[in-house]
Amino acid sequence: MDEDVLDRLVLQYLQKRGYTQAQQALCYDAQNLQTANMTLAPQVDPEKGIVEDLLLYLVADNNQAQYARSFDSFAIWVDNSLDLYKAELQKLLYPTFILCYLRLVKHGASAEAQQMLAKHRARFVGTAQRPAQARLQELQDLQNLSLPEQLESNQASKLFLILSIVNEHLSLQIIEGQPSADAGDETDVGILSGQSMGIMSSVNQQELQLGLLQGNAEDRYAAIKADREAEAVPEADAEGKALSKKKRLALEKEAEKERSKRHKAAEGRLEPQIPLAPRSEVLDTAVLNDFENRMDVGPQALPSILFHTFVNTAQSLNCSAFAPDLQAVAGGFADSSVRLYNLNNATEASADGPEARQAGEPFACMHGHSASVHGIDWMPDGRCFLTSSSDGTLRIWSPELRRNLAVYRGHNLPVWDIAACPAGHYFASASNDRTVRVWCTDRVHAVRILTGAFSDADVVRWHPNSHYVAAGCSDRTIRIWDIRGGRLQRILTGHRAPITSLAFSPDGSMLLSGDAEGELMLWSLGQAKRLASFHDHRGPIWTLVFSHGLSNMLASGSADETVKLWSLSGQAAAGEDMEAALPAAAPELQRVKSFKTRAMPVFSLHWTPRNVLLASGPMDLRQKVLPA
């Protein structure tokens, strides 16, 4: 920075603070400066944004090109800063760059703005961990913005929002201690992903009730198992020798302690605060029988994986979902049809060929939608399934009757996803109209309309206790609402691409998210904090699922034609109190193994109650398939 500029800034500060003697001394020493001109320069206002203060002195000289030179100096200073602080300081570069660019365009210095963009384009794309498509699109939008009149257009006005975002919400806080270990990189900031820090902070400080519901199947099974083990204390050891009285009493005491622990955890569960349909005794009995035969999977005991392929549907299959009883799989297609495939009567014939229909009719083709079907999910009891479509409607179908039972209207634009409530009776939809709606099966209108997203709501999932709904949006945010009052409870930011998949952990304490660029993130819901981030997939992550019971494993399926298994530590086991089970260290997510399909992107994954992993996806036989 020139000495002349420094003298101007110092003089403005002394004049504003009322240090008259110091001001006169400075003017006397700097005889080359004209005091009259200096007093006409704009005053530094500490109430304005810090970036505005750093660049304000340029207006006095009426030389807008200085914005570019000032940013160059700022970038060099950040690059030469200590590595300890560089990661945090780099986050300031991108929003400051956008501000300088838009100011140049606003004041007619389009040539300087274009030169500035060409000079720093590689910095904001090449310095990231990987090329960000969203960042490239933002820079392309900036390049097309070259005239002041364009700032008034609808498209450019979105970019112009950065002026108020930076000036009003970018603040520097000096905090004692070491920088955060999870500082990230400068690509965490985007033009359309900026949130008011004050609003987001207040939202994320709200308390959540993340406990499971009273009487859930996992707790009941854990209590039954603990009672059985307490009553079945062995009379002899593994070698057949009779146990001593002391050892037998110790085993009885340990079993009683475990039983008491399980019952106490069940008593501390959340009482339902929304009307729920009564549970089916037949379904409960079947679930408990499955739990009895369930295998615990982990890094040392990998699960069995069965992949179901939709043949000759690569350009038409949009979504798929397995029935809870594993007797069928349903698919939604671009031709507006919904097809139900019988897994007990499948053939090797093409799903579209006449041979398939003659060989036991392995599928039923049902019609009702008038546009592409994008979302599909089964109700927990398996008696019906739900679909969503580009025609803006939601439909419920009977697999037994093979007919559409009801249609739900309310969305004005395409509906991208639909999810059934774990407790039944309710379902949620995510739409292009930027809303998430909660529906009840016995009402034709939505019971809740959840708003706040700046772009499409692409994917929706229910919390295990059925009181919260999470949505992943195209604006790269994850939003969580409390359906009891429709209040926004969490805003999670950090993704660099639209969200494509979500999954809650079985204990309800964590959320897993995947985006369109293959990045996986693990979040703590109680702390509203990102715990881990991985970029192992090379394409959009379409599906995420957690295993059941004591097995803290999860699976991810992607458009890169892979299924990846992950191990999660720090999750409360089934039947345990979540708060008491939380470890001192942060949960860790580790990749265990990756499985490559022959030529099928993975559209859906499903853990059976016995922890067998099912997967599905389309394959086009007209494409050349390389040997495995």
Instruction: Answer yes or no: is 401 within a domain.
Output: no
Please tell me the distance from the alpha carbon of residue 614 to that of residue 306, in angstroms, as a whole number: 5
Q: Any residues with CB less than 8 A from the CB of 292 and at least 6 apart, and which? A: 221
SS3 content of the chain, % helix, strand, coil (to 5): 30, 25, 40
Same domain, 65 and 184: yes
Q: How many domains does the chain have?
A: 2
Same domain, 178 and 231: no
Please tell me the distance from the alpha carbon of residue 552 to that of residue 540, in angstroms, as a whole number: 24
Same domain, 185 and 223: no
Q: Is residue 294 a contact partner of residue 610, using CB atoms and an 8 Å limit?
A: yes
Same domain, 171 and 257: no
Instruction: Answer yes or no: is 279 within a domain.
Output: yes
Q: Any residues with CB less than 8 A from the CB of 464 and at least 6 apart, and which? A: 212, 213, 216, 422, 504, 506, 507, 508
Rg (CA), the chain: 30
Please tell me the distance from the alpha carbon of residue 129 to that of residue 19, in angstroms, as a whole number: 49
Q: Is residue 114 a contact partner of residue 146, using CB atoms and an 8 Å limit?
A: yes
Same domain, 100 and 137: yes
**Strand order through the sheet with 457-462:** 457-462, 468-473, 477-482, 487-493
Please tell me the distance from the alpha carbon of residue 50 to that of residue 28, in angstroms, as a whole number: 30
End-to-end Cα separation, the chain, in angstroms = 62
Name the DSSP letter for residue 53. H
Low-confidence ranges of the chain (pLDDT < 50): 32-61, 127-131, 154-157, 159-169, 181-196, 347-359, 574-575, 578-584, 624-628
| The 3-state secondary structure of 544-557, one letter per residue | EEECCCCCCEEEEE
Token pair in block for residue 10: 């110092």
Name the DSSP letter for residue 424. S
What's residue 552's pLDDT? 83
Instruction: Answer yes or no: is 359 within a domain.
Output: no
**Length reported for the chain:** 628
Q: Is residue 120 a contact partner of residue 126, using CB atoms and an 8 Å limit?
A: no
Q: Any residues with CB less than 8 A from the CB of 282 and at least 6 apart, and which? A: none
CATH code of the domain containing 61? 1.25.40.500
Q: Which of 228, 258, 292 is the last residue of a domain?
A: 292
Instruction: Answer yes or no: is 344 within a domain.
Output: no
Backbone angles phi, psi at 423, to 5 degrees: -90, 0
What's residue 168's pLDDT? 43
What's residue 461's pLDDT? 97
What's residue 200's pLDDT? 75
What's residue 244's pLDDT? 72
Domain that holds residue 263: 217-292
Token pair in block for residue 81: 């800063």
Please tell me the distance from the alpha carbon of residue 143 to that of residue 113, in angstroms, as a whole number: 9
Handedness of CA 416, 421, 424, 427 (dihedral sign): negative
Same domain, 165 and 73: yes
Please tell me the distance from the alpha carbon of residue 461 to that of residue 502, in angstroms, as a whole number: 7
Would you call 28 exposed, middle or buried from its count of C-beta atoms within 10 A (0-12, 13-18, 19+)? exposed
Q: Which of 272, 292, 312 is the last residue of a domain?
A: 292
Q: Which of 265, 292, 319 is the last residue of a domain?
A: 292
Q: 222, 243, 246: which is closest to 234 by C-alpha?
A: 243
Please tell me the distance from the alpha carbon of residue 318 to that of residue 339, in angstroms, as a whole number: 12
Same domain, 177 and 223: no
Helices 110-126 and 133-143, axial angle in degrees (round to 10): 170
Same domain, 70 and 184: yes
Backbone angles phi, psi at 475, to 5 degrees: -80, 10
Instruction: Answer yes or no: is 428 within a domain.
Output: no
What's residue 160's pLDDT? 47
Same domain, 48 and 115: yes
Q: What is the pLDDT of residues 157-168, one digit of tens each?
A: 454 444 444 444
What's residue 478's pLDDT? 95
Token pair in block for residue 174: 């000096």
Please tell me the distance from the alpha carbon of residue 511 to that of residue 530, in angstroms, as a whole number: 9
Same domain, 58 and 152: yes
Instruction: Answer yes or no: is 452 within a domain.
Output: no
Same domain, 71 and 178: yes
Instruction: Answer yes or no: is 68 within a domain.
Output: yes
Q: Cα angle vertex 474, ends 470, 477, to 5°? A: 50
Instruction: Answer yes or no: is 360 within a domain.
Output: no
Residue type, 336: S
Token pair in block for residue 21: 């003697």
Unique residue bearing structure tokens 């005889």: 31
